[in-house]
Amino acid sequence: MTQQQDRTAALVLEQASVAYGHVPVLEELHGTVRSGEAVALIGPNGAGKSTLIKAILGLVPTVRGRIEVLGVTPAQARRDVAYVPQADTLDPDFPVSVEQVVMMGRYRKIGWLRRPSAADRALAAEALERVGLSDRAKNRFGTLSGGQRQRVLLARAIAAQPRLLLLDEPFNGVDAVSQHALLEAIALLKQQGAAVVVSTHDLAIAHLACDEVCLLNRHQFGFGPTDEVLTPERLRATYGGHALELRGDRVIVTQT
Amino acid sequence: MSLFEPFQLPFMARALVELVILGVLAGTVGVLVLLRRLAFVSDTLTHTVFPGVVIGYLMAGQDGVFWGALAAGAVTAVLLTVLAHRRRVSEDAALAMVLTSLFAIGVVLVSQRTAFTSDLTQFLFGRILTVTQEQLVQTAVVTVLVAALLAVLRRPLMLRTFDPEGAAAAGIRVGLLDLVMNVAVALVVVAAVQAVGTILVIALLIVPAAAARALSDRLVFIVPLACLIGALGGWLGLAASYEASVYHGLRLASGGTVVLVLVVLYGVAALAGAVRRRVGLSRARLGTPELEMTR
Ligand SMILES: Nc1ncnc2c1ncn2[C@@H]1O[C@H](COP(=O)(O)OP(=O)(O)OP(=O)(O)O)[C@@H](O)[C@H]1O
Ligand SMILES: [Mg+2]
């Protein structure tokens, strides 16, 4: 690998195998995501998409090979990596306002004791603006719709000014308005030079927003430019013993 | 009912101060217990701290109670943290068995003593009216320590409670934070053990926090409200039990009365909360209906 590529590679997988304890989940992953590019993780339930994202965060160990994030190990890179969880995994009763959630994205920079500065507040407000929810800043997080909550979580990640953004199925159960807002915000982040990893079941989104695709089902079934990798044959291989139809841009898996 | 007169008596004044401090301590920690859904941790602690109290008492008399409780509380906090990170503790039958056994050991040990019933009552339900100056100092020190700890850790605690995966992803040591949290709950139980006993402390932790949550959606209000309600319950409960015992010949146990007053306060708060929510809802509906639709 040349010096030049090294500098712009945000995420490098090198024959990486990932395991929970003794249970191997992902084996032999290989690929590179550069700054300003987005990669879609696509695969059936239980394929290991969430596990890969956790490995990139350094929360699940890489047992063989190497995962390099922004030129260092995943744990060392955390300061510049932001993670967007699925909104419906969070407690909707939690007494926290939308702007407080977004401010959480600044916690790493603010520290434990200091009050948020005017700059922190401006960044949080701007992040909320980017997902189109400025007018909901004072509302309680749980009173928003699922799609809006997902946008707030993206705003929190944007406020952290990440160089690598990880999103775990952000489009699940999200309506068209919210999906559009999410895609716009992600596109802007890419423009500003951030790399993006997003797991999704939606091939249309992979085509629309991602430069590369990683097909996963415990192994890698393809990693490369979207048009080359998203072929019916490869998808069929990834989704295993199930008959697979491609209608438009949807994967339809029919149980055999 | 006289709300001030009883507290001219020194022992009543001490009891009041103790309950007000405990109310503030348990109110603060209780909010975290409520948000983390950790009620089972306080439950577990009451079972394990009891034998600790008994052993401490048998070894060193009244002075041993605090240290026995502290040792048992600390061990429990560590074990619970480790277990929770291995698998689900809350629904584990084996754990329930261990807890009841520990509790039974406490009972068996107390039954060796001649003053069996009075000792047992003391350990289970506390003796608020015989609180000493030294106990007050102990409680105050624990309260200051725990409050300082929670103030320093408020951001990581909030993030971990709201979004555990996000917290881990942000580099927060979730395991360590959980240990701190469990130790804080243990310290509340330990501090409250002599005053209200191992059983009633659960109410002190859970009820004021739940009442405060019903009244507000904002953490900056919920924590002080919980403290206020906890302290208020202590005051009103003491006054009520004094009134009943002295003027009406009704012997109401102070600890139990405090808990019942807290529950009544919760009822009032829940009602007020329901009204507040309804008013808020109709206001929102009247306000900007078309905006709500398009978003
Ligand atoms: N904490 C864990 N310990 C052990 N095994 C786990 C753990 N979490 C997940 N697994 C296993 O790892 C495999 C991959 O799970 P993962 O959640 O990464 O899949 P996924 O592709 O995200 O699926 P989905 O589309 O359902 O979200 C599954 O077989 C799962 O059982
Ligand atoms: Mg997943």
pLDDT, tens digit (0-9, with 9 covering 90-100), for A121-152: 999 999 999 999 999 999 999 999 999 999 99
**What does the pLDDT look like over B20-71, one tens digit per residue?**
999 999 999 999 999 988 877 888 888 888 899 889 988 888 888 889 999 9
pLDDT confidence band for A107 (50 / 70 / 90): very high
Q: Which of B153, B169, B217 sits opposite A95 (nearest CB)?
A: B217
- The whole-angstrom distance between residue B209's C-alpha and the CA centroid of its chain comes to 9
Enumerate the residues of chain B whose CB falls inside 8 A of the CB of residue A73: none
Rounded distance between C-alpha atoms, residue B245 and residue B287, angstroms:
53
CB-CB neighbours of A241 under 10 Å: 7
Q: Are A42 and A234 in contact (CB under 8 A)?
A: no
- Smallest CA–CA separation between A76 and chain B, in Å? 9
CA dihedral B121, B124, B127, B133 (to 10 degrees): 140
Q: Tell me how far the alpha carbon of residue B93 lies from the centroid of ligand 2, in angstroms.
A: 30
Least confident range of B143-157, B160-174, B268-282: B268-282
Per-residue H/E/C for B105-173: HHHHHHHCCCCHHHHHHHHHHCCHHHCCHHHHHHHHHHHHHHHHHHHHCHHHHHHHHHCHHHHHHCCCC
**Beta carbons of A91 and B171 less than 8 Å apart:** no
Rounded distance between C-alpha atoms, residue A238 and residue A62, angstroms:
22
pLDDT confidence band for B288 (50 / 70 / 90): very low
- Smallest CA–CA separation between A66 and chain B, in Å? 19
Q: Which of B156, B168, B217 sits opposite A140 (nearest CB)?
A: B217
Mind listing the domains of chain B with CATH numbers?
A: 5-294 (1.10.3470.10)
Q: What percent of chain A has pLDDT over 70?
A: 91
Q: What is the DSSP letter of A115?
A: P
Q: Tell me how far the alpha carbon of residue A52 lies from the centroid of ligand 1, in angstroms.
A: 9
Strand pairing report for A250-254 and A243-247: antiparallel
Rounded distance between C-alpha atoms, residue B97 and residue B104, angstroms:
10
Strand pairing report for A212-217 and A219-225: antiparallel
**Beta carbons of B295 and A104 less than 8 Å apart:** no
What is the count of residue pairs from A and B with beta carbons less than 8 Å apart? 62
Closest protein CA for atom 27 of ligand 1: A45
Q: Are A149 and A90 in contact (CB under 8 A)?
A: yes
Enumerate the residues of chain A whose CB falls inside 8 A of the CB of residue B154: 112
Enumerate the residues of chain B whose CB falls inside 8 A of the CB of residue A113: 152
Q: Tell me how far the alpha carbon of residue A182 lies from the centroid of ligand 1, in angstroms.
A: 25
Q: Which helix (H) or strand (E) holds A196?
A: strand A195-199
- Smallest CA–CA separation between A246 and chain B, in Å? 32
Rounded distance between C-alpha atoms, residue B280 and residue B276, angstroms:
6
A147 close to ligand 1 (CB < 6 Angstrom):
no
Enumerate the residues of chain B whose CB falls inside 8 A of the CB of residue A95: 35, 213, 216-219, 222
Nearest ligand, CA of residue A56?
1
Closest protein CA for atom 6 of ligand 1: A20
Q: What percent of chain B has pLDDT over 70?
A: 93
pLDDT for the residue numbered A245 = 60
Angle (CA) A87 A93 A94, round 5°: 80
Residue A170 CA: distances (Å) to CA of A110, B101, B163 = 27, 47, 15
Residue A70 CA: distances (Å) to CA of A52, A121, A185 = 16, 27, 22
Backbone torsions φ then ψ of B211, nearest 5 degrees: -65, -45
**Beta carbons of B162 and A94 less than 8 Å apart:** yes
A47 close to ligand 1 (CB < 6 Angstrom):
yes
**Top mutation candidate among A20, A51, A168 for ligand 1, by most atoms within 8 Å of CB:** A51
Rounded distance between C-alpha atoms, residue B62 and residue B56, angstroms:
8
Mind listing the domains of chain A with CATH numbers?
A: 9-253 (3.40.50.300)
A85 close to ligand 1 (CB < 6 Angstrom):
no
Task: Assign A225 to helix, strand or coil.
Answer: strand
Residue B228 CA: distances (Å) to CA of B27, B215, B221, B233, B235 = 8, 12, 11, 8, 11
**Beta carbons of A89 and B218 less than 8 Å apart:** no
Rounded distance between C-alpha atoms, residue A238 and residue A48, angstroms:
12
Q: Average pLDDT, stretch B233-238?
A: 94
Residue B137 CA: distances (Å) to CA of A105, B17, B65, B132 = 40, 10, 15, 9
Helix B39-60 and helix B62-86, axial crossing angle in degrees, nearest 10? 150
Enumerate the residues of chain B whose CB falls inside 8 A of the CB of residue A145: 295
| B45 residue type, one letter | L
**What does the pLDDT look like over B189-231, one tens digit per residue?**
988 888 888 778 889 999 999 999 999 999 999 999 999 999 9
Rounded distance between C-alpha atoms, residue B226 and residue B269, angstroms:
11
Nearest ligand, CA of residue A239?
1
Residue in A closest to B219 by C-alpha: A95
Instruction: Tell me the whole-structure pTM to 2 decimals.
Output: 0.88
Residues sharing a CB contact under 8 Å with residue A69, sequence separation 6 or more, in sequence order:
A10, A11, A56, A58, A76, A77, A81, A164
Task: Assign A65 to helix, strand or coil.
Answer: strand
Sign of CA dihedral B156, B161, B163, B168: positive
**Beta carbons of A107 and B168 less than 8 Å apart:** no
Q: Average pLDDT, stretch A168-190?
A: 92
Does residue A60 register a pLDDT over 80?
Answer: yes
Mutate to test the interface with A, among B31, B153, B163 (most CBs of A within 10 A): B163
Q: Are A40 and A206 in contact (CB under 8 A)?
A: yes
pLDDT for the residue numbered A243 = 52
Q: How long is chain A? A: 256
ipTM of the complex: 0.88
**Beta carbons of B295 and A148 less than 8 Å apart:** yes
Q: Which of B155, B165, B295 sits opposite A112 (nearest CB)?
A: B155
Rounded distance between C-alpha atoms, residue B103 and residue B124, angstroms:
11
pLDDT for the residue numbered A1 = 43
Q: Tell me how far the alpha carbon of residue A68 lies from the centroid of ligand 1, in angstroms.
A: 22
Rounded distance between C-alpha atoms, residue A239 and residue A222, angstroms:
12
Residue in A closest to B216 by C-alpha: A95
